[in-house]
Amino acid sequence: METKLLAAAQAARDNAYAPYSKFKVGAAVETVDGEIFTGCNIENASYGLTCCAERNAVFAAVCSGVRRFKTLCVVADTDEPVAPCGACRQVLAEFPFEKIILANCKGQTKTMSVSELLPYGFGSESMNIKK
């Protein structure tokens, strides 16, 4: 499944809208039921309105009613496997991902947990809220 997820993230990357940074990113999330949702980064001239590939993939799944995930894969054309930005890490912490696969276009990968990406993350337990 990891090969399929990486291929889906790479295909999503092809659709990225990055006219300003030229930094195209793709992401794919696998649900606990094996369904795959993808996202790419979409930039805006007002940089604060830009949305990352990882968040777009998660938001597409959530919009379809999914709340339980297994894996996220993110890919970019970088020397080393690319990692999500801080905002994306916080979004990932909201959901119970089993693992996060960082990848680059050369096929290099690194697998991590959300807690490794965002130690001491802020979540519903920090607010004493039960989901």
> Mind listing the pLDDT tens digit for each residue in 57-77?
999 999 999 999 999 999 999
Q: Which of 54, 98, 116, 125 is catalytic?
A: 54
Query: For 27, which DSSP code?
Result: E
**Homologous superfamily assigned to 2-124:** Cytidine Deaminase, domain 2 (3.40.140.10)
2 included as an active-site residue: no
Q: Write the pLDDT tens digit of every residue in 2-24.
A: 899 999 999 999 999 999 999 99
Listed by start position, the domains of the chain span 2-124
What gap in Å lies between CA 101 and CA 22, rounded to an integer?
Answer: 22
User: What residue numbers does the annotated binding site for substrate cover?
Assistant: 41-47
**CB-facing half-sphere around the CA of 59: CA atoms within 13 A:** 11
Residue owning tokens 């195209």: 24
Annotated binding-site residue numbers: 41-47, 52, 85, 88
